Amino acid sequence: MRIGILGSGLMGGKLGTIWARAGHDVVFSYSRSEKKLERLARDAGGNARAGTPAEAAKDANALLLAVHWSRIDDVFKKAGNLSGKVIVSCSLPMNDSDTDLLVAHKSSGAEKLARKRPKARIVSAFNTVPSEVFFSVFENRSRDPRPSLVYCGDDKKAKDVAVQLIRDVGFEPVDAGPLRIARYTEPFALLVAQLAYEGDRGPAMAYRFEWFEERNA
Ligand SMILES: NC(=O)c1ccc[n+]([C@@H]2O[C@H](COP(=O)([O-])OP(=O)(O)OC[C@H]3O[C@@H](n4cnc5c(N)ncnc54)[C@H](OP(=O)(O)O)[C@@H]3O)[C@@H](O)[C@H]2O)c1
């Protein structure tokens, strides 16, 4: 796939690097430093390059939206027409001090994004895991069981793309349902962040869901 990274920080930098190493064409965009984008592309290897958000969006099969909530309008404006584009969003609707969700309970950041760009195909994924785990999950991708990663969305094509990208990183995708389920996954992401950053084990965690079925003897 051709993947445009909108926001090349902790999330975008790591996920873009992994997808380039998994064989995708990746364009890193949206940083305050052009040099950083070029370094990311060089270090990622494969078919990675630096570009503008408009270049990242052009001909992209998938876009990763990985900016702070306060930067969404700016990056969308710079990316241009996103009609029909698959947008995998890991952005959480956080306030400026990153202490609270600005949208919750009766809606979600993901649903708000879908209203901002109604012709884009939005799927919410990757925000329930600290970015620090991505490289070790990728390195251990052939091991079983894989850690789970929940995603949700209303668009089948976008969800199919997300499933491939989630598997490429080394997670087992767990379909949480329609986009409105982001009302529950986004607060869940804060629980994971709390455990990852405030606990004494550090951020090196990724959860795994297991089904407990009643078995007949
Ligand atoms: N980090 C995590 O573990 C994690 C986990 C779950 C969800 N999330 C969510 O994922 C999203 C991205 O998080 P992140 O940690 O990757 O953020 P980040 O490291 O701050 O990356 C954001 C990117 O946006 C760029 N940017 C910021 N202001 C800009 C401006 N004025 N002009 C151009 N570029 C600008 C930054 O540029 P620079 O390169 O110059 O800094 C950086 O590349 C957020 O919504 C966050 O809530 C993050």
Residue-wise pLDDT tens digits, 91-136: 999 999 999 999 999 999 999 999 999 999 999 999 999 999 999 9
Closest CA relative to residue 25, chosen from 43, 41, 14? 41
Task: Give the residues surrounding ligand 1 with Cβ less than 6 Å away.
Answer: 7-12, 30-33, 36, 66-69, 71, 90-92, 94, 127, 130-131, 189
- pTM higher than 0.95: yes
For the chain, the average pLDDT equals 96
Ligand 1 midpoint to CA 46 (Å): 23
Instruction: Report the atom number in ligand 1 closest to the C-alpha of 30.
Output: 34
Amino acid at 116: K
Mention every residue, 6+ apart, whose C-beta is less than 8 A from residue 148.
Answer: 171, 172, 173, 174, 207, 208, 209
pLDDT digits (tens, 9 = 90+) for 149-197: 999 999 999 999 999 999 999 999 999 999 999 999 999 999 999 999 8
Instruction: Tally the residues of the chain.
Output: 217
Closest CA relative to residue 134, chosen from 7, 27, 22? 22
Cα(50)–Cα(144) distance, rounded to whole angstroms? 34
pLDDT digits (tens, 9 = 90+) for 48-80: 999 999 999 999 999 999 999 999 999 999 999
Amino acid at 203: P
Q: Beta 172-175 vs 148-153: how paired, if at all?
A: parallel
Ligand 1 midpoint to CA 66 (Å): 6
